[in-house]
Amino acid sequence: MRDSSNADSVERRPADDSAAGAPARGSRALTAILPNGKVVWLRSVPPLAPAADLRHLADLAEHSARWREARSRSHRRAIEHLARTTADDAERLNEAHVERSEKQRRRLAVEFNALDRRVSQAIEKHRGAVERQVQIDRESLRRLRRRDLWDQIVLLSSLPLFAAYGQRGTPFGANNLALMLTLLVWLVGDEIINALFASSRKDIPPYALRDADVWSYLAPIGNVLAGWWLMDGRQHERFVAGRGELKAKRFEVITAVPAGKLGFRYRSTVELGQMIGPVHFEDFRGFTGVPAVATLSTFKFKDVGLKASAKISGVTAEVERGRLIIHVTVIAEAIPDFAVDPVPSPLESAEFAWMVDTDKPATIA
C-alpha cells in the first residue's frame, strides 16, 4: 500500500535537505524509483510485541537488575575487605618500621656508647702519655741546665790552667794537649763510664740526660787539681824577671877602649833554677841563644869615678847553662888615680833589673 502522505512529504523535501536522515526506528522504509523518475518511499510498520515476550523481557530485566545489585554488593564487600586488609597491612608495616627504627636506635646507641668509651679511654691514655712526656721533657731541661752550668764551671776552671801552663803559639804543644785531655775527661768522663758500664735493666729513667751527680760537682776541683798535678814542676810563665845588685868589687879592666880611656867590666850572675819550673829547667839548661835583657835601675859612682868622668857604656845579658850573666861596662878617663895596684873601681854600687824568655828559642844564636 502506498502511503501518499509520506510520499508527498518526501517529494516536498528540498533536494539539498540531507539532514532528514533515515526514518524513525520501529518502522521499515523502502525506496522505489518510478518509471517517470519519481522516487517513492515505502514504509512498513512492524507489529507490536506479544505480552509473553514483554513479561519475559520484564523478568529478564528484573533478573539483570538483581544480578547487578548482587554483583555490586559483592564488589562492595571485596572493596571493604581490601580496605581493611590494606589498613591492617599499613598498620603492621608502620609498627614494624617503628620497631626496626627503635632497634636501630638502640643498636646505634650501644655502638656509639662503646665507641665513646673507647675514644674517651684513648684520649685519657694519650693525655696521660703527653703529660708524662711533658714532665720528662721538663725534667730533662732542668737536668740539661744543671749539667750545662757545671760544664761551664769546669770550662772556667780550665782557664787559669791554660793561662798558667798553656803554650802560646803552639796549639798542639804537650802542655796544651795534656790540659785539653784532662778537661775532656772531667767533662764527659761520667758519660763514658756510664755508657761502658751502664746496667741493662729496664727500669732506667727515660730521661735524655743524666742528672748532675757527684762527678759533676767535683769536676771543677778535680780539673784544677789534675792540671796542677800534671803541670807541677813545669814552667807556667813564659817570662821570668827580677832585680839584683851588682857587686862593684868584682870587675876586670879592659884595654879595647879608645886612647886615653880605661874600661871596667863588671859581672853578675843570677841562678835561674829557683825561678823556672824544675821539669822545664832541665830542658832550659840546654837552650842556646835564649833572649834576655837587663838594664840598670840605679847606680852610683865613687869620687874617683866622678873625677874621671865615668859613665855606663853598656849593659849586656846572656844565658849560659841555666844562669843569667850580666855584664856592665864603665868607661872612664885614664887619670893618675887609676895607676895604682890594685886599680880602684869607679863604680860604688848599682842595681839592675832583668827579664828572660823561658820558651825554646825559634833560632839558635
Report if residue 75 sits inside a domain.
no
Give 3-state DSSP helix, strand, coil % of the chain, rounded to 5.
Answer: 50, 20, 30
Report if residue 161 sits inside a domain.
no
Q: How many CB atoms lie within 10 A of CB 55?
A: 10
How far apart are the C-alpha atoms of 176 and 167, rounded to whole Å?
A: 6
pLDDT for residue 98: 92
Report if residue 188 sits inside a domain.
no
* Residues facing 30 on adjacent strands: 42
CA distance between the termini of the chain: 188
How many domains are contained in the chain?
Answer: 2
Report if residue 191 sits inside a domain.
no
Report the percentage of the chain scoring pLDDT > 90. 17
pLDDT for residue 76: 92
- 364 has a pLDDT exceeding 60: no
Q: How confident is the model at residue 246 (pLDDT cuts 50, 70, 90)?
A: confident
Q: How confident is the model at residue 47 (pLDDT cuts 50, 70, 90)?
A: low
Q: How confident is the model at residue 305 (pLDDT cuts 50, 70, 90)?
A: confident
Report if residue 86 sits inside a domain.
no
Report if residue 99 sits inside a domain.
no
CATH number, position 264: 2.60.40
Q: How confident is the model at residue 108 (pLDDT cuts 50, 70, 90)?
A: very high
Report if residue 20 sits inside a domain.
yes
Residue 133 exposed, middle or buried by CB count within 10 Å (0-12, 13-18, 19+): exposed
- 196 has a pLDDT exceeding 90: no
| Phi-psi category of residue 290: left, alpha or beta, with phi > 0 → left and psi -120 to 50 → alpha | beta
Q: Which domain holds residue 302?
A: 239-357
90 or 50: which leads in pLDDT:
90
pLDDT for residue 17: 45
Q: How confident is the model at residue 207 (pLDDT cuts 50, 70, 90)?
A: low
The alpha-carbon radius of gyration of the chain (Å, integer) is 73
- 262 has a pLDDT exceeding 50: yes
Distant-in-sequence, close-in-space partners of 166: CB < 8 Å, separation ≥ 6 = 173, 175, 176, 179
pLDDT for residue 7: 42
Report if residue 171 sits inside a domain.
no
How far apart are the C-alpha atoms of 275 and 278, rounded to whole Å?
A: 9
